[in-house]
A and B are shown apart, each in its own frame.
Chain A
């Protein structure tokens, strides 16, 4: 029996038979095909995709080492067609420092969450930035310890809820959030610092340009791109409302944009 069809649905189970160009393929070149286990509506895969695409576009695939922190995005560490080193919680900038100091020909990048970078390893990233290490750090900022079940982090903004703080952050009890990119931008060793987001398709494109710039800036010194990502599970917010929730809470305090771009050879 044929089911009733009310909408003129276009067949999408095979490529078009007529003349057409493929303008975007499913999975980026450097990510292995197959389902990953991150939650529905998670923002982290889009950020990882931007990094993987940028590495491929800059021709760095065989000369790049990614150092992963601990968090949900770590699921991608054995899913990427580039060399990956797994660091202890928060220590990725120090591991990346060791890599570029021993192998200046290598592009060293880190992928860390906000809990990893700002709670567990704040001093690692600040000192690496101050020293002007030639590394590029990517921080996926969802304002929550996603992997361990939704606890508040140092970047959770006032009023933003997480699973174990359903009333939202309250300054009287929990203090105030840290704006990591703003902090790093004040350090002289940092040459490129930006904050992107993946809540809209336009912001994903903007973030991709920041990622490209940050990888290129590495020749001059320390670079950081913070990417605001949705965590519908950790915020206990429906996937269809999580992008809006992020724009209304997290992104209000952690504002998007390029915070620093020295553009020249100021730092060592």
Chain B
């Protein structure tokens, strides 16, 4: 179901939401009930990431690490 996944450094996020607009399959959503230590909402990942790196290209605060699953793993996620 997902070709890849992320590690999100939520504490580095400043809540600008550029990543949410940039994500082609729209699998990033901002928290509505939690903020980080500096008071910013941050993105969370839903299933369906395609490991395209659009979020990390646009993020001003270097919040993302992008992983691509090896082909054998892909079918099972």
A residues lining the B interface (CB < 8 Å): 3, 7-10, 12-16, 18-28, 31, 35-36, 38-46, 49, 198, 200-201, 204-205, 232, 239-240, 243
Contacts and interface: CB of A to CB of B under 8 A. Distances in A.
Contacts, number: 127
B53 A23 contact: yes
Contact of A20 (B17, B52, B63, B70): B70
B17 A240 contact: yes
B26 interface: no
Contacts of A205: 57
B12 interface: yes
A22 B5 CA distance: 10
Given A8-B46, A15-B67, 12 more contacts: A9-B45, A10-B44, A10-B47, A22-B66, A24-B65, A26-B65, A41-B14, A42-B60, A200-B22, A201-B22, A239-B18, A243-B21
What is the interface of chain B mostly: helix, strand, loop, or mixed?
mixed
Given A8-B46, A8-B47, A40-B15, A204 B5 contact: no
Nearest to A44: B60
Determine the main DSSP class of A at the interface with B: loop
B33 A21 contact: no
A23 B51 contact: yes
A54 B25 CA distance: 28
A20 B67 contact: yes
B72 A19 contact: yes
B35 interface: no
Interface in B13-41: 14-18, 21-22, 29, 33, 40
Nearest to B2: A10
Interface residues of B, number: 47
Contact of A23 (B12, B59, B68): B68
B57 A201 contact: yes
B6 A12 contact: yes
Contacts of A198: 58
Given A22-B66, A22-B67, A16 B60 contact: no
B62 A40 contact: no
Nearest to B40: A40
10 contacts: A10-B6, A19-B72, A20-B68, A24-B53, A24-B66, A26-B12, A41-B60, A42-B60, A46-B58, A243-B18
